[in-house]
Amino acid sequence: SVLAALLSHARCFVGSDSGVSHLAAAVGISTLVIFGVSDQRVWAPSGEAVMVVKDYWDETDVFEWSSMDGRDFPTAGCAQAVLEKWI
């Protein structure tokens, strides 16, 4: 597909849980997938260059991030912190 060809020339991909994220993972580029309410254990793309993060609300209503493999990211400036760890 045209999209797969375009993605194969990208250095990385950052996106939400979607078919495009799976396509990016399939072409082998570094892929960061951000999950919301869907279960990342079921729907996450696979691949060595894939990092998955999921947002959740804890009991104190503080927005936090955690990755599929248990690593935690800082709550302050979540998006920036995730990108800095990933890149």
> Does residue 4 register a pLDDT over 90?
yes
| Tokens read off for 51 | 């990092």
The model's pLDDT over 47-87, given as tens digits with 9 standing for 90+, comes to 888 988 886 544 444 444 455 455 554 444 556 666 676 66
- Pick from 11, 24, 75, 10: nearest CA to 52: 24
Q: How far is CA 9 from the centre of its chain?
A: 19
Please give the average per-residue pLDDT across 2-23, as a whole number: 94
What is the CATH number that goes with domain 2-86? 3.40.50.2000
Question: Does residue 3 contact residue 22 with C-beta atoms inside 8 Å?
Answer: no
The model's pLDDT over 15-24, given as tens digits with 9 standing for 90+, comes to 999 999 999 9
Break the chain into its structural domains and give their ranges: 2-86
Backbone angles phi and psi of 38, in degrees to 5:
-75, 155
